[in-house]
Every structure is written in C-alpha cells, then in structure tokens.
Structure 1
Amino acid sequence: MTLDEIIEYMLSSVPEEYDISVGSFFYDLLYPVAEQIYLLQKRISRLSENTFAVTAEGEYLDRKTAEQNIVRKTATYSKGTLLISGNRGEVILKGAKVAADNVLFEVNETVSITENGSVEVGATCTVSGSAGNVKKGDINRFPITLPGITAVQNITDFTGGYDAESDADLLERYIEKVSRPNVSGNKYHYIEWAKEVSGVGDVKVIPLWNGAGTVKVVIVDADNRPADSELISKVK
C-alpha cells in the first residue's frame, strides 16, 4: 500500500461527524502513524527479498552464498617495480610514498641508492582495487620530498589490483554451484576452484587434455584480459 492509501484506510474508521481533512486533529494524529507503517512495510518487503539469493544484495547475499561455502572475493592490491634515483647512499625507508596522479603507492622495503645513482624496489598500491593498475612510467613523483632523492618511475606496469567481487558475479558463482554437479574433481569442480581466486573472471576447463589424469584450466582476469603470471600462480 502507498502512504496515501494507508492514511485513507485509517481515516475511514473515524466517525463521520468528525473532520478528517488535511490539518484536522484526526489527520494530524494518524498521519505519523501511517508514515511509520509505510516505512515498516517497505522494510519487511526488502527483508523478504533478501531471503532469496536472486534478489538479495550486499551482506544479505553474502549470508546466502555462505550456505554453500561461497565467500565473496575481496579486493586485491596492485604491485610493480620502481626505479628511484638520487644521491649515492641515500636511504628510502619502507613505506615511503610515491604517486601516479592522485593514486599513492608504498615502497615494500628499505633500500639505499647504489653507486650508479639509482635503485630498483618493489612497491604496492595503498588502496585496493583496479585504481592501482597503472602503466609503466605513470608513477613519477613523491607526494613528500625525500632529501637526496631526485626522481622515481615505475619500470613495470603495476598489475594485480582487482575490485571486490560484485553482487552479480557472486550470484553467478552461487547459481553455478547449486545447479551443477561439482563433485569428485570433475570439470565443474575445477571451474569452482579457479573462480574462488580473487581476480579470476572466467574459466574454461579441458579434461584429459594430455591423456588420462590430466586437466587444463584456462583463465582470464576480472576484466576479461589475459591473466598475469601472479594470478596464474595463485590459481595453480
């Protein structure tokens, strides 16, 4: 029922000799009650929808898929390699920040500038998700000036940053599991296992690809691009 239908229904029980027009005593008395009933009705309706996987959202979908031991894949952090230049012997501490536009990255370990005036070091994005997947050369500044350090550049693409699994993708995995006989290491079991890894978008399984006792698992990442070596290693 709409709010207007609820207030109209409540006012219909008021004796005819009383004024029930907008602004009257009875109207002003019953309207807040009708409003709360309307809001409660919406909450009950939403709660009912969240009891079914196909209409559940967010944490309610998480609870539903957990019944099948399916957990939402969390966001991951992109990683890559930096080349930092400066005066010989200058120290860059673990956690030092570098940036590509407004995206920040942290140096993975404490290092010193070598005799040739530079040092290579790994770094990780400070925020999870695809925002940290920057191209070679995009990281080019220090948010805070470091004494004796003159330049920074990422000499590799930064990869491996994947967004948290969406409701739609989580629901798809849930439906796949409850509708397919994924037992005893069959084809569907390999698909399920591979898709449990954060960053995997889709999977193709080729049974007996090299004779008895073998199986090939082909994956793409969450953006339907070729998987990088780190993602392949995690799936293995």
Structure 2
Amino acid sequence: MILINPLDLIKDLETKDFNYYLDSMLNNVSDDVDKRNGAIIYDAIAPAAMEMANRSTDLINYIKQSHIATATGDFLDWHAQDKGTSRELATNTKVTANIVDENKNLVTNIDINDRFASVGADTIFYSVIGKKDDGNYLLQAETTGTQPNAYIGQLLPVTPNDSVNWAEITEIYAPAKDDESDDSLRERLLSPNNYINYGGNITDYHTMLDKIKDVGAVQIYPAWQGGGTVKLVILDNDLKPALDTLLNEVKVTIDPPEDSGLGYGLAPIGHQVTVVTPEFFDVTVNIKVTTDGKIGLDILNNEIKSATQNYFNNLRQNWSKDTNFKYSLTVYRSQIMAAILQLEHVVNAEMPKLNNADADVDLTFTNETSQLPNLKDVIIDD
C-alpha cells in the first residue's frame, strides 16, 4: 500500500481532469479506429471521462472537508462539535433610547417587548428589553448581525402608545457582531492553548465572557489587588471601549456588585471582580511621502489616513491576545510605512514619527493600566 499525504493526494486528483481521463481511455483504443472528436468512440467515451473528472473533484472536496485546516461551512461546524465547541453566532445590537411625550417629559408607560422601528428604507425593528435608572429605555434590534450598528436616530412606535411624541436612539451601548467566520473558527480549533477551564482560572473566565455575546474582547488580570481579586478589561464587538451600560451588564452577570464575592454571578465564591474598559493611548503619525502626482493631494491624503487607520484597526484584533497570559502590543513605524507604500500613487515614504518621536510605541498592560491604540491624527508631508 502506497502512503500519500492529503495535500499530495489533492494535487494528484487535480491533474485527473476531463482531458486526463479522455486521453487515458482513448489510448486504450486501437489506432485503427477513428478517435477524432465527433467519432463514435470519442462520443461514447467523453461522457464517461466527464463523469470521472467530476468524481475527482468530489474526492478533492471530501478530503478537504475531512480536515479542520481545509474544512468550510457546515463541515467545519461538525469538526467544532467534535472539539466540544461551536461557531459563535451573530448577536443583536443593543441601544439606549430617549422616549418623551409632547411636553418633552420621559414616557413612563413603556413595557418590556414593546416595539419600535427605525426611519428609512431598510427598516430595523427594536424591542424594549429594560429601563435605565435615568428613565431612558434599553432596546434590542430584532435583526441579528452588524447592520443595526450603523443606525442612530429617530424611532417610530410600532406598539401603539398615545404618550409617545418623540423617540430616538441616543447611543449604541452594545454593538452586534456577525456569525463567526470560517477562518476565526478554524483558528480557535487549531489553537494549541487548550487549557481546561476550572474553578475560576483564566481559561474559566474566558469561557464566562464567551457567554456574554456583547463583549468583543477581554484582558484578564488575576489577583490584581491580591488573592481573590480579578480585573476584566473589555471591549465591545466593534473593538471599541465599552460603554457604562455594557460594563454594568458584565459586572452583574459575572459578580453582582451588591453581593460581590458571594458567588451569585458566574464568578466563583470568593472572587471579587472589577470590570473596566481600557484607556485610549492617542498616537499622532507624521510621515513624509513622495507621490507620482497623478491624483489630487486631498484624495491621496485621505487614502493614506485610511491605510493608517486600517493598521490601527488590525492592531486591535491582537489587543487581547496573550503569550503565557501576558499582554503586549506595539505600534510599529515600519508597518505603518509598509501600509502606506502599498498605495497605488505613493512611490516612496520616509520612516514616520509617532508622537514626534523616532521610535515605536509599546503600549502599557499592567494591573493598573491597560491601553488601547487610537489614531489621533496623520500629518503628511510631501
């Protein structure tokens, strides 16, 4: 029996296309028979060759779907089930709404599950899920996914209520996320850091936060003020600092403030949990570029700023990743320059300065301080 690895088998099957099978079968036919296109023997063999080529394609797909590294869609979901996990599904946007009567007083007779709708062509429906101490209401989009994240503005009541004169979304306190992508799920399944979650260890807290779908990323600082104290630093699903409403939601779920340490939340008995969001570390980028002069400077400057912002957005994707449960993140000048040099009309660029210094920026992650990179401005010299 000849052993062959899956990648080599796929490459071998990829060579076995229609022409491969057709030529192979025609080679087994005597040369004194007419084998040209349109001849009887050709027309008889061609459908079989096509069917065998299709089977090669099927076999390639079967092999790919049988391995986590190449599986997609439902097949990858099955692999996740074998690993005791599942794809993270899309969540619902949660918002704060101001609802007033004709005298601009807050309406008090709104009930849980009362419905409102956005204004515009693509209507988004919302249901009331709670009320804040200040009299404003908490609503949740009925549509899952990130589309409702972009809407702030007027609401129209769907549930009849004569008291409502004006309603509007004032903030999105918990942005939604879309279904987890194949790449993200695959990365989780192939991750070597499969520690067992148990008894309030760090992995256990990661599992707790995974259950709160409005949290997009978390850093965990155990024993940050001594034994039994845990600090959770969280971002929302847009990887932006969490608003107070979300911070409170997480605190109540993990370790209710009125009974902290008593085990009435997800945290073990004896754990006093603090939930905060990171502080912005503002970065101003100064860079000198040479252009080909083929487009206006205003357009090119916007493209440079967009490329730099994309780099900072990518940095935030790694904000919560750790090495042996230690966090680190650096803003690299060379990577900013590389991102800008990839733009079509930039022909050269000098190494940028960050906050007027010729040095990379190392963010601070300690028990007291956790920073989040924020692009404050891009100043371009040409």
Determine if the TM-score, normalized by the shorter chain, exceeds 0.5: yes
Q: Distance in 1 between matches of 2:98 and 2:221?
A: 41
Q: SS in structure 1 opposite 2:19?
A: helix
Q: Which residue of 1 aligns with 2:250?
A: 232
- Distance in 2 between residues matched to 1:92 and 1:223, nearest whole Å: 29
Listed one character per residue, the Cα deviations across residues 144-165 of structure 1 (whole Å, up to 9, x for unaligned) are 9x89776542233363321111
CA gap of 1:24–1:171, structure 2 versus 1, over 3 A, is: same
Name the SS for the 2:140 alignment partner: strand
Amino acid across the alignment from 1:98: A
> Per residue, is there more strand in 1 or in 2?
2
Partner of 1:79: 94
Q: Paired residue for 2:117? A: 98
Question: Structure 1, residues 182-206: CA drift from partner, whole Å, max 9, x if none?
Answer: 3434333433443454344433222
Task: State the secondary structure of the residue aligned to 1:161.
Answer: coil
Give 1:70 shift. 1.0
Does 1:16 find its partner at 2:35? no
2-side partners of 1:218 and 1:37: how far apart? 56
Letter in 2 for 1:76: T
**Structure 1 residues 71-80 or 100-109, which shifts more?**
100-109
Q: Which has the higher contact order (CA 8 A, sep 6+)?
A: 1
Do 1:10 and 1:30's aligned partners in 2 also have CA atoms closer than 8 Å? yes
- How far apart, CA to CA, are the structure 1 residues paired with 2:219 and 2:234? 6
Identify the residue that residue 51 of structure 2 maps to in structure 1: 36
Residues 97 and 137, structure 2, Cα contact 8 Å, conserved in 1: yes
The alpha-carbon distance between structure 1 residues 160 and 2, as it changes in their structure 2 partners (threshold 3 A), is: same
Q: Give structure 2 stretches of 5+ with no counterpart.
A: 1-15, 130-134, 255-382
Deviates more, 1:120-129 or 1:25-34: 120-129
Alignment of 1:151-230 (within 5 A): 152-157=167-172, 159-176=174-191, 178-185=192-199, 186-195=201-210, 197-228=212-243, 229-230=245-246
After superposing the two structures, state which structure 1 stretch, 211-220 or 62-71, moved more: 211-220
> Which residue of structure 1 lines up, in the alignment, with residue 140 of structure 2?
124
| Pair 1:62–1:199, CA change in 2 (3 A) | farther
**CA distance 1:59–1:98, change in 2 (3 Å):** same
The answer to whether the Cα contact below 8 Å between 2:174 and 2:214 also exists between their aligned partners in 1 is no
| TM-score (norm: length of structure 1) | 0.75
Which residue matches 2:81?
A: 66
C-alpha distance in structure 2 between counterparts of 1:159 and 1:198, whole Å: 9
Partners of 1:127 and 1:181 lie apart in 2 by: 35
TM-score under structure 2 length normalisation: 0.49
Q: Unaligned 5+ residue runs, structure 1?
A: 110-118
Matched residue SS, 2:143: coil
Say if 1:195 and 1:203, in contact at 8 Å, map to a contact too.
Answer: no
Percent identity of the aligned residues?
23
- With over 3 angstroms needed to count, the CA separation of the structure-2 counterparts of 1:58 and 1:20, relative to structure 1, is same
Kindly provide the amino acid, as one letter, of the partner of residue 150 in structure 2.
Answer: V
- Distance in 2 (alpha carbons) for counterparts of 1:4 and 1:24: 16
User: Against the structure 1 CA distance between its residues 33 and 151, is the aligned structure 2 distance closer, same or farther, given a 3 Å change threshold?
Assistant: farther
Cα distance in structure 2, aligned partners of 1:158 and 1:7: 62
Distance 1:198 1:172 in 2: 19
Q: Provide the secondary structure at the position in 2 that maps to 1:20.
A: coil
Q: Are the equivalent residues in 1 in contact too, given 2:218–2:232 (CA < 8 A)?
A: yes
TM-aligned CA deviation for residue 95 of structure 1? 6.1
1:134 aligns with 2:153: no
Q: Would you say the 8 A contact 1:73–1:197 is kept in 2?
A: no
Contact 2:155–2:169 (Cα < 8 Å) also in 1: no
Amino acid at match of 2:195: P
Q: Distance in 1 between matches of 2:76 and 2:252?
A: 26
